[in-house]
Structure 1
Amino acid sequence: MVEKKINFPKDFLWGIATSSYQVEGNNNNSDWWEFEQFPGNIKTGEQSGMATNHWNLYEEDFQLVKDMNCNIFRMSVEWSRIFPKEGEINSKAIKHYHQMFDWLIKNNIKIMLTIHHFTLPLWFSKKGGLENERNIVYYQDFVRLLAKEFKEKIDYWCTINEPIILAMLAYKWGFFPPCEKDTGKMEQVINNLLRMHASAYKILKIKNSIKSVGIVKAVEEFIVLSNREDDHEKAKEADNVMNSSFFNSLKTGYLPYGSKEFIPNLKESFDFIGINYYHRSYISSEHFPEIFSTKLPNADPKYLFTEHEWQPYPAGIFNILKRVSKLTEKPIFITENGISTENDDWRKYFIISHLIEIFRATQNNINVKGYIHWALTDNFEWVWGFRPRFGLVHIDYNNFERKLKESGKLYGKICSTNSIEFSDTEILIKLFPDIHESMKISKNMFD
C-alpha cells in the first residue's frame, strides 16, 4: 500500500535555528551578562554561564543538524564577542566563526546569518544603547566587518531579529535590559532599529553586492473576545504597533514615530522577509484589562502545553502568511516556529499541524521559501532561564550531553522526504483529537 503524504515544493528549504547568546556561553562582554548578575532579573535565578557550550561543541551540534537532513541553518554572531570593547576587534572570535561556517559549507548546509539578535555589547549599552541615534555608526562598523569577513560564505543575511518585540520587551513591558517602561523611548528605539536595518541593507546590498538581505519580524494575530468598541480599538492599536507600522515603514520608507522621517534606504529594503510565529494573542478588557493575553480566559489547562503559557494556534500561521503575501511578492521564510514543552508528543503535533498550514499557504500561491524550526537545542531562554525547553535536541546541563528527541527524529524524516506522511498525522490526531480542527481537515490534502 502506497503511503499517503503531502509534498512540499521541490526547492523548499528545511532548517533549524539558534542564537549566539542563548547557546555559545561566556559572552561576558554583553549587556545581558551584566543584567543576569542582578537577583530577580532571571525568573529561575539562573545565569547563562556556559549556556549549552555550543562555542566549543558546535561540530557536535552541526552534526545533529546534518543528521536531521536540514539544508539551511540559521544562527547569529555575537556582537560583543567580536567587539568586546569599543574599537577592539577579537580576531580569534572571527577565526572561530569562520571555522563554524566552513563546517556548514563543507556539509552542504546553507547559512542564514542574523547580525543582531537582542544582545548588545556592554560598552555600546553604556553609551546609550539603542536609544541614541548616534550609536548607529557602531552597528554599521559591525556590519561592514561581517561583510568583509563572511560575504562569500553566507547565503541569507538577516539584519535584525524581531525589532518591535525587542523594543517592547525593553521599553514597554520593562523586563529586558534596560528595563524601562517609557513609550516615548520605545518609539525612539523602534525608529533607530529601522534606521539600523536600512543602513545595514545599504552596506550589504549596495556596497557589497550581497544577493539576499532581509529582516526578521515576529508577527502577531490579535483576536478580540468581546463586542466592545474599546476592545476593537485596542486591537487596532496593538496591531499597528506590532505589525502594521513596521510593514508600512518597509513599504514607504517613512519611520513610524516622531517626525516620521523619510529614510531613502528603508523603502523596500529587503529581498526576503523572515516571519517568526508562535501563538496568537487575545484582547478582552473584562479578562485582561491592562494588556493582551497569549491564552484564552478560563482555558483548559490540558491545552496549555507551553512553558510560557502560550496557547498555540496552527491556523494562525496561514493567516499571517496570507497577510504578508498581500504586502509583498518577495520570498517569505518562517524563521522561527516552535514550542517550549517537556511533552515531546505535543511538540510533534505542533510541528506537523503548523507545517500543514504552511503547505496550505504554498498551495495558495504564497511564496514561502522555507521553514526554520526554533530551536536546534534547549537553550538559555532569556529572562525565563533554562527551564523552557524549545529544542529538538535535549541538553543535559550537568554535562552538556546532547540527545535527539523523538520530535527531532520526526522533523528529520520530514526534511529528508520533503513531505509529511499521513500515518504520522493519524497517530497525533489520536493523541490530541480535539485540540484543533486543522489536523482533521488536513486529511483531504494527502495524495
Structure 2
Amino acid sequence: MSADEKTFPRDFTFGVATSAYQVEGGIENDWAEWERAGRLKEPHTRCGRAVDHWNRYEEDYGLAVDVGASAFRVSLEWARIEPERGRFDGAALEAYRERLLRMKARGLRPVVTLHHFTHPTWFHRETPWHTPASVDAFRAYVRACAPLLKGLEALLISLNEPMVVLLGGYLQGLLPPGFADGPKTMAALENMVRAHVAAREELQAVLGRVELGISQNMLCFTPDRWWHPLDHAAVRLGAHAYNHAFHEALVTGKLRVTMPGLASTRAEIPQARGSCEFIGVNYYSRAHLRFLPRYPFLAFQFRDRLGRGLTDIGWEDYPEGFGEILRETKRYGLPVWVTENGIDDRGGQRRPHFLHRHLEQVLAARAQGVDVRGYLYWSLLDNFEWLEGWGPRFGLYHVDFDTLERRPTPACAYFRAVAQGRRLIAPEALEAQPSAAR
C-alpha cells in the first residue's frame, strides 16, 4: 500500500462496542431465564453482575477515550425499561439518558442499539416475534425510548444481528425462545422487518431526521468442496439469506429468503423500502458450507486451510473475507459502518495483528469506492459471551472477572496509535517503540 492508501480521513470514526446484557449486570430477562434452565455450554454459568458497567460506566468511557475512540456503541436493555408489559420504568429511562449525555460530554458519539438479542421475560410468552403483536410491542418500547435520544446526534441501530436471533432462536432452538420451526422463523423474520419500520416511524416522530440501520452479522461463505456444485449452490443461497436478505428488504421493500428443505419466504413490505440510512456490518470469520443429502441439508464449519491458526473461540482468522463483505455492501449505495469486528484472543498477543489486517481491508474497500464511515471494535472489554459464557476474551481491555479490574492489552496501544494518527501502521513498528507498553 502507498502512503496515501494507509491514511484514514479526518472524519473517519474509530470506536468501540458493547451490549447491555454482556456488560451491565443485574438484568433479569429471557437470557437470565435461559441460563437458569442450564442452556449454556457450561450449564451452571451465569452472567450475574457481568462486568458491572452499569456502575462503572464513567471509568469505561475513560478507557474508550484513552484508546483514541470517538464513538461508543451501547444497547438499551428492554427488560430494564419495560419489565412488565406496558409498564415503563422512568428511573431506567432517566439513567440511560444520563449515561448517554455523559458519554457525549466525554467526546464519544453514542451509537445506540435498541435491541441486542435480549427480551423482557414476558415477550416470548405474550408477543413472540412470529406473531403480529411483536411489532406493536417493539413500537411501544421504541416510543418510550425515543425522548431519551434527543439532542445526542446518535447513530441508531434498531436490531442487532436479526438473522442470528432467528436462526439460533427459531430454526435451531439454541437461543431463546428455543423453537425449531421453519414457518415460525419466516413469520418472525417478516415481523422483525416490520418492527424496524415501526421503530423508524417512532424515532422520526420525536427526533425528526435519524441515522438508523441494523447491525448485521455477515460471514464470508465458501464451498467446503470446491468441486461440488451443490456446495456452491449452498454458498449462493446461504450468503443471500444470511448476509443480505434483511438489508435488501430495508432497501427495496422486498423480502426474499430461500433455504430449501428448511424455510423460505416471499413478502412485499412497501413501507420498508428506503428505511435505513446506512449498512451495519458485523464481521468475524469465514465459514465452509457442505451440502448434505438429508436433514439439516447443510454442514457449517470453520477450517484453518491457510494455516494461520483458528482463533481461541474456534473461528477462522480470515481478513480477506472482511474485504469481500465490505465490497458486497457497495450494491446498496449507502454509507457503511463496521459495527463489530474483533477476535477472541485469550493470550492478548494476536489482537494487534488482527486489527492491522482488518483495518487494511477497510482502507482497501474505501479505495475501491465503498463508503466506510467508521470502525467499531468488539469489544472495549472482556465480557459475558452468550452461550460460551466467560471463556472468550474479545476485549481491548482484559477484565479480571473476580475483581473486575480492567487492564490494557497490547492492542490498546496499537488501536490508540492508529486512531490518533489516522494512519495504518504495522504492529511491529509500534512494538519497537519504548512507549508502546503504555
TM-score (norm 1): 0.89
Q: Find the residue that maps to 1:93 and give its secondary structure.
A: helix
Q: Report the Cα distance in structure 1 between the residues aligned to 2:355 and 2:419, rounded to whole angstroms.
A: 12
Distance 1:310 1:291 in 2: 18
Q: Which runs of 5+ in 2 are unaligned?
A: 258-263, 433-438
Distance in 1 (alpha carbons) for counterparts of 2:292 and 2:429: 37
What is the alpha-carbon distance in structure 1 between the residues aligned to residue 206 and residue 100 of structure 2?
22
Q: Does 1:131 align with 2:137?
A: no
Partners of 2:349 and 2:130 in 1: how far apart? 43
How far off is 1:336 after superposition? 0.2
Deviations 1:126-154 (CA, angstroms, capped at 9, x unpaired): 21421221121111111111112222224
Distance 1:408 1:133, change over 3 A: same
Q: How does 1:5-404 map to 2 (within 5 A)?
A: 6-28=6-28, 30-43=29-42, 45-205=44-204, 208-224=207-223, 225-256=225-256, 260-285=266-291, 291-296=298-303, 300=307, 303-307=309-313, 309-328=314-333, 330-404=334-408
Report the Cα offset of residue 44 of structure 1: 5.9
Indicate conservation of the 8 Å contact 2:342/2:378, yes or no: yes
Say which SS state the counterpart of residue 326 (structure 2) adopts.
helix
Question: How far apart are 1:261 and its partner, in Å?
Answer: 3.7
Q: Name whichever of 344-353 and 241-250 sits farther off.
A: 241-250
The answer to whether the 8 Å contact 2:190/2:267 transfers is no
Deviation sequence 1:251-299 (CA, Å, 0-9, x none): 3212336774432320011111110000011123489985443422777
Distance in 2 separating the partners of 1:39 and 1:165: 20
Once structures 1 and 2 are overlaid, which stretch shifts more, 260-269 or 211-220? 260-269
Per-residue CA distance 1:222-249 (angstroms, 9 max, x = gap): 1113211221222222123212322331
Q: What letter is aligned with 1:121?
A: P
| Secondary structure, counterpart of 1:420 in structure 2 | coil
Which whole-Å CA distance do the structure 1 matches of 2:178 and 2:386 have between them? 13
User: Structure 1 residues 94, 286: closer, same or farther in 2, change over 3 A?
Assistant: closer
- 1:174-226 deviations in whole A, cap 9, x for unaligned? 21111222121111111111111111122223553133111111112211132
Of the two structures, which has the highest relative contact order with CA contacts closer than 8 Å and spacing of 6 or more? 1
Q: Give aligned-pair identity as a percent.
A: 30
Q: Which residue of 2 aligns with 1:441?
A: none
232-241 or 342-351, which deviates more: 232-241
Pair 1:40–1:149, CA change in 2 (3 A) = closer
CA distance in 2, matches of 1:264, 1:206: 19
Deviates more, 1:289-298 or 1:391-400: 289-298
Name stretches of at least 5 consecutive residues in structure 1 with no aligned partner.
429-447
Alpha-carbon deviation of 1:305? Answer: 2.4
Q: Confirm or deny: 8 A CA contact 2:127 2:137 kept in the other structure.
A: no
CA, structure 1 residues 230+54, in 2 after alignment: closer, same or farther (shift >3 Å)? same
- TM-score normalised by the chain length of structure 2: 0.90
| RMSD over equivalenced CA pairs, Å | 2.4
